Amino acid sequence: AERVSTCFDKTKMKGVAAVLAACLVAGTSAFYSSRDDVVVLTPKNFHEKVVNSDDLWMIEFYAPWCGHCKSLTEDWKKAASALKGVVKVGAVDADEHKGLGGQFGVQGFPTIKFFGADKYKPQDYQSARNAKGIVDFAMGQARSIVNDRLSGKKSGSGGSKSGGGKKTDPDAVVEITDSNFNEEVLEYDGPVLVEFYAPWCGH
C-alpha cells in the first residue's frame, strides 16, 4: 500500500521544526482560481453548492503552507477536468476556514473526502494522490450510488436543491419541451439522459 503523508495543522506543529519545514512553502496564495475546473468552496457557498446539492463531490481540504498540498495541486486539477460533468471537484482552504474543516473532522492536510448521497457523512479518501487514483475512486463511488438507486435502495439526499438548480429527487423525471430544452439539457453542467418518445408507442 502506498504511504500517504500528511501535513498537520500549524497549531499542532510548534516546536517540531523539521516537520514544519517540510510543509512550509513560499507564499500563501490560493492554489485554485476560476480558470480551473476545481470549484473553490468557502463557508459562504459550501452549504448551497455541496450540502444542498444532489451532485457528488470530491473535496480537498488544504492549507497553502503545506508542501504535500502544493504537490497535489496539478493532479487535483487534472482529476477535476476528467470528472467534469460527472463528479464535481472542489477545494477548501481549511487554514483560512478552520471552522468549515472542523465540521468534517479535518486535522491534517491535505484531507480529501467524497461527499455522496449523505452529505453529512462524507467518506475519507486515503488512496494514491494522483489524478488516476482520484478519478478511479470517484467513479467507483458514483457507480455504487447509481447501482443502489437502480436496485431501489433509498439513500439520503443532499438537501433542498441541486447545485445546478435542478430537481432534488434523483428518481424524478423532468418533462422536456421546446421551451425548456436549452435550460434543462444544453445549459446544464452535468450529463443528461433524454428519452424521445411518442405516447402512442407501445415500446
The reply to whether 66 belongs to the active site is yes
Q: Residue with C-alpha cell 434543462?
A: 184
Q: Among the options 7, 66, 116, 158, which is catalytic? A: 66
The reply to whether 47 belongs to the active site is no
Q: SS3 for 96?
A: coil
- Non-local CB neighbours of 183 within 8 Å, separated by 6+ positions: none
Neighbours of 150 (CB within 10 A): 8
Q: Cα 164–168–171 angle (5° rounding)? A: 120
Exposure string of 37-72, with b = 16+ CB inside 10 Å and e = fewer, is bbbebeeeebeebbebbbbbbbbbbbbbbbbbbbeb
Q: List % helix, strand, coil for the chain (3-state, nearest 5).
A: 30, 15, 55
Q: Among the options 7, 15, 27, 69, which is catalytic? A: 69
The reply to whether 201 belongs to the active site is no
Please give the radius of gyration of the chain, using alpha carbons only, rounded to the nearest integer.
Answer: 19
Q: Among the options 67, 108, 159, 164, which is catalytic? A: 67
CA 148 to CA 115: how far, in whole Å?
A: 16
The reply to whether 68 belongs to the active site is yes
Residues with a known catalytic role: 66-69
